[in-house]
Amino acid sequence: MSFENLAVVTRGGIHTITIKRPAKLNALNRQTLQELYGAIIDASGDDKVRVIVITGYGDKAFVAGADIGEIRDQSPVEARSFSQFGQNLMSMIQSLDKPVIAAINGFALGGGMELALACHLRIASDTARLGLPEIKLGIMPGFGGTQRLLRLVGTTLALEMTLSGEPITAQRAHQLGLVNQVVAADELEAAISSMAKPLVKAAPEAVRGILQAIMQGADINLEAGLALETARFALCCATEDMKEGTSAFLEKRTAEFKGR
Ligand code: COA
């Protein structure tokens, strides 16, 4: 599949999707959202892809939000479908069984922050700014931001960020647990690679089980979460990779997982 507003490349099991609308600071218009949907579907069905990285083109913005020009000109009915499409895309990313890492290389505002929050892991450059500024446009987040931010930081901070609309620094986002790491801008690529490479080599069934247990576990009660954990643990134990991982430990060698 070819894209106008995305650059995609797979190297060593790591599939990098770069959102590329530099004239609009990589803002998500409908076309870009649709392309991103297609790119994620492609990557999810490709066995060679073990980890997905999403980033923004250039050194200024990850994604500066949904496209404000399109928002202004849409009817209420179109706005509803725009929000639902964005939400579906973010939910699809969050529920993927391959790890998705956001490389936040600059402004992650509105839909950009919502996209980052839907990813499983986030590394920000120290120049990044994260925020949900929709209130300043007379609207509110519509791609799942209120719900994901609430679940990550609780009501107090979620209300502060959405009602003020003020972005926060990458360092503050790290203090709040919104990003896993903050690195210098010129170290972002290396940090992403250090995070992604071990995941490429990890046993895929273990990765899938952990993603499902943690991501779904956040929204279900403890008993149901524990049952899910046991089911996924048992599935891991049915793999050759489990035999390899445990044997390698006992034989004091590095495990070589085969995805079987
Ligand atoms: N949608 C559409 N266009 C956008 C955009 C968005 N979310 N964010 C930036 N742009 C466009 C600007 O309109 C401008 O286009 P122009 O050159 O044709 O006028 C271009 O990108 C560069 O942005 P600019 O505002 O000039 O850059 P800046 O460095 O002065 O400010 C930001 C950067 C990110 C602070 C500022 O662009 C901004 O606040 N963007 C909107 C953020 C937002 O509200 N997002 C939520 C949307 S729901």
The pLDDT tens digits of the residues spanning 45-92 come to 999 999 999 999 999 999 999 999 999 999 999 999 999 999 999 999
| Any atom of ligand 1 within 6 Å of the Cβ of 63 | no
Q: In whole angstroms, give the CA distance from residue 201 to residue 179.
A: 23
Inter-axis angle of helices 76-94 and 30-44, to 10 degrees? 30
| Any atom of ligand 1 within 6 Å of the Cβ of 65 | yes
| Any atom of ligand 1 within 6 Å of the Cβ of 115 | no
**Is 134 tagged catalytic?**
yes
Q: Whose CA is nearest to atom 11 of ligand 1?
A: 24
Using DSSP, state whether 252 is helix, strand or coil.
Answer: coil
Please tell me the distance between residue 109's alpha carbon and the centre of ligand 1 in angstroms. 10
Q: Whose CA is nearest to atom 41 of ligand 1?
A: 64
- 6-200 placed in CATH 3.90.226.10: yes
Instruction: Quote the pLDDT of residue 246.
Output: 98
- 152 contact partners, CB below 8 Å, separation of at least 6: 117, 176, 177, 178
Residue of 4, 134, 160, 251 marked active site:
134
Residue 32 banded pLDDT, cuts 50, 70, 90: very high
Please tell me the distance between residue 260's alpha carbon and the centre of ligand 1 in angstroms. 47
| Any atom of ligand 1 within 6 Å of the Cβ of 82 | no
158 CA to centre of own chain: 19
| Any atom of ligand 1 within 6 Å of the Cβ of 133 | yes
| Any atom of ligand 1 within 6 Å of the Cβ of 24 | yes
Boundaries of every domain in the chain: 6-200, 203-250
Q: What dotted CATH number matches 203-250?
A: 1.10.12
**Is 114 tagged catalytic?**
yes
Q: In whole angstroms, give the CA distance from residue 202 to residue 39.
A: 23
pLDDT digits (tens, 9 = 90+) for 197-242: 999 999 999 999 999 999 999 999 999 999 999 999 999 999 999 9
Instruction: Quote the pLDDT of residue 1.
Output: 75
